[in-house]
Amino acid sequence: MDKTKQSRLEAAGWRVGDTADFLELTSEEAAFIELKLALADYLRDMRVQHGWTQTHVARTLGSSQSRVAKMESADASVTVDLLVKSLLTLGASRKQVGQVIARAA
40 and 81 Cβ atoms separated by less than 8 Å = no
- Does 78 interact with DNA (rule: CB under 7 A)? yes
Of residues 11 and 31, the one with the C-beta less far from a copy of itself = 31
| Shortest distance, position 104 Cβ to DNA, whole Å | 25
**Residue 10 CB partners (closer than 8 Å, separation 6+):** 16
Residue type, 64: S
Binding residues for a copy of itself restricted to 54-73, rule: CB under 8 A: none
Q: Taking CB under 8 A as the rule, which mask of x and - marks residues 26-55 in contact with a copy of itself?
A: --x--xx-xx--------------------
Given a contact cutoff of 8 angstroms between Cβ atoms, the answer to whether 92 and 102 are in contact is: no
Q: Which helix (H) or strand (E) holds 80?
A: helix 80-89
State CA 99 to chain mean position distance. Answer: 14
Number of residues that bind DNA (CB under 7 A): 22
From the list DNA, a copy of itself, none, partner contacted by residue 70 (C-beta under 5 to 8 A by kind):
DNA
DSSP 24: T
Residues near a copy of itself (CB under 8 A) are: 28, 31-32, 34-35, 79-81, 84-85, 88-89, 93-105
